[in-house]
Amino acid sequence: MSFLNKIKQGLGLGTLEAKLNVPGQIAGNSGQFEGDFILTAKSGQQIKEVWVKFEMVRHWDENKYRRDSNGHQESYTSHESQTFELGNYIDKTPFEMKASEVKTIHFAIPFQMINPQSSADAAIAQGGVSAVLGTITKLASSLRNERVDYRVEGKVDLKDVAFDPRDSKDIFVV
Q: What is residue 12's predicted lDDT score, i.e. its pLDDT?
A: 46
* pLDDT tens digit sequence for 97-118: 998 899 999 999 999 888 765 5
Domain boundaries, the chain: 3-173
Residue pair 68/76 in contact (Cβ under 8 Å)? The answer is no
Which architecture does CATH list for 3-173?
Sandwich (2.60)
Top pLDDT among 122 and 30 is at 30
Q: What is the pLDDT of residue 34?
A: 94
State mean pLDDT over 127-141.
60
Share of the chain above pLDDT 90, in %: 42
Q: How far is it, in rounded angstroms, from Cα 87 to Cα 59?
A: 20
Strands 32-41 and 16-21: antiparallel
Handedness of CA 161, 106, 29, 167 (dihedral sign): positive
Q: Where are the beta strands (DSSP E) in 68-101?
A: 73-91, 95-97
Residue range 3-20: average pLDDT?
65
Please give the mean pLDDT across all residues of the chain.
82
Measured CA to CA, the distance from residue 49 to residue 26 in angstroms comes to 26
Residue 7: pLDDT band (50, 70, 90) is low
pLDDT for residue 6: 56
Residue 11 has pLDDT above 60, yes or no: no
